[in-house]
C-alpha cells in the first residue's frame, strides 16, 4: 500500500490513536526531537532525524508516529516497519498513552528476567522480535549454570 492509502482498519486506528492522544504525543515528541515528518504506509507518520539518544532503539513508535534518528532508508525495511506498525496497533488497543506505563512494566520485567528490554516484554514479543531485529534471550533461570568454585579448598 502506498503512503497515504488506507484500509478501513488503518483509518480506524489513525482516528483511535488521535482520540486517545498517543499520536498527538508522538507528533509532539517528533517536534521536540527535531525530526522531519513524512506520511508513511498504513496511516503511519515517519519521523526521521530524531536527535536524542533516548530511548535506545533503531526506531520507536508513539501512536501512529514512528521515530528514528536514522533516515528513511532504515524505515524502508519492511520487517522493521511491520514491527513498528504493530506497536501502533497496540496503542489503539491499550487506550493510547496508557500503554506507556504498561510498556515500561513489561520492559522492567523483561530486564529482570532476561537482562534486556525485549525478550520477555509482551509488547515487543507481540510486535515480532525477529521483525524488530531483536535476539531472543532465555530468562536467567533457564540458562545453563556455570560450574563455580564451590567445594574447592
Is a pLDDT exceeding 80 seen at residue 6?
Answer: no
Q: Indicate the domain borders of the chain.
A: 8-142
Find the Cα–Cα–Cα–Cα dihedral 90, 126, 118, 78, rounded to 10°: -90
Rounded Cα distance between 144 and 95, Å, is 40
Residue 32 neighbours by CB distance under 10 Å: 11
Is a pLDDT exceeding 80 seen at residue 47?
Answer: yes
Q: Cα 100 vs. chain centroid, distance in angstroms?
A: 11
Given phi > 0 = left and psi -120 to 50 = alpha, else beta, which region is 36? beta
pLDDT band for position 144 (50/70/90)?
confident
| Strands 36-39 and 45-48, sheet pairing | antiparallel
pLDDT in tens, 91-136: 999 999 999 999 999 999 999 999 999 999 999 999 999 999 999 9
Is a pLDDT exceeding 70 seen at residue 149?
Answer: no
Amino acid at each position: 500500500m502506498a503512503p497515504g492509502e488506507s484500509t478501513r482498519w488503518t483509518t480506524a486506528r489513525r482516528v483511535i490513536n488521535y482520540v486517545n492522544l498517543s499520536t498527538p504525543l508522538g507528533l509532539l515528541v517528533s517536534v521536540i526531537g527535531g525530526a522531519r515528518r513524512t506520511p508513511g504506509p498504513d496511516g503511519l507518520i515517519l519521523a526521521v532525524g530524531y536527535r536524542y539518544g533516548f530511548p535506545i532503539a533503531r526506531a520507536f513508535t508513539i501512536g501512529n508516529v514512528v521515530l528514528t534518528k536514522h533516515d528513511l532508508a532504515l524505515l524502508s525495511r519492511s520487517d522493521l516497519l511491520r514491527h513498528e506498525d504493530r506497536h501502533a496497533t497496540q496503542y489503539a488497543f491499550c487506550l493510547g498513552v496508557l500503554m506507556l506505563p504498561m510498556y515500561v512494566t513489561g520492559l522492567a520485567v523483561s530486564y529482570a528476567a532476561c537482562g534486556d528490554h525485549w525478550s520477555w516484554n509482551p509488547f515487543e514479543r507481540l510486535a515480532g522480535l525477529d521483525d524488530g531485529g531483536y535476539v531472543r534471550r532465555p530468562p536467567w533461570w533457564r540458562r545453563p549454570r556455570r560450574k563455580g568454585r564451590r567445594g574447592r579448598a
